[in-house]
Amino acid sequence: MLIGSSLIDYVIGSMIGRTEDKKKRKALLLVSLISNLGTLFFFKYFNFFIDSFSSLITALGFIPHLTTLNIILPVGISFYTFQTLSYTIDIYKGKIQPSNDVVAFFTFVTFFPQLVAGPIERASHLLPQFYKKREFDYEFASSGSKMILLGFFKKMVIADKVAVLVNAVYNNPSDYVGAPMVMATVMFAFQIYCDFSGYSDIAIGTGRILGFDLMTNFKRPYYSKSISEFWTRWHISLSTWFKDYIYIPLGGNRVNQKRWAFNIFITFLISGLWHGANWTFIVWGAYHGVLLVFERYTKSVSDGWLNLLIPKFLVKLVPALVTFSLVCVGWIFFRANSIQDATFVLTHMFSDVGDYLDPVKMAVKFRGMGWTPTDLIKVFIFILMLEIIQWIDRKRFWGDSIRKLPRYLQWFFYVLLLTIIIFFGIENSVENFIYFQF
Residues tagged active-site? 275
Decide: 178 and 349 in contact? Cβ < 8 Å: yes
Which among 85, 73, 67, 65 is positioned nearest to 42, based on CA atoms? 73
Distance CA(214)–CA(80), nearest Å, equals 15
Rg, C-alpha atoms of the chain? 23
**What is the torsional sign of CA 412, 415, 417, 419?**
negative
Burial of 309 (0-12, 13-18, 19+ CB in 10 A): exposed
CB-CB contact of 125 with 224 (8 Å)? no
> Closest Cα to residue 204, out of 132, 112, 275?
112
Q: How many CA atoms lie within 13 A of 347 on its CB side?
A: 7
Residues 197-209 as b/e (b if ≥16 CB within 10 A, e otherwise) read: bbbbbbbbbbbbb
CA distance 324 to 426: 30
* DSSP character at residue 210: T
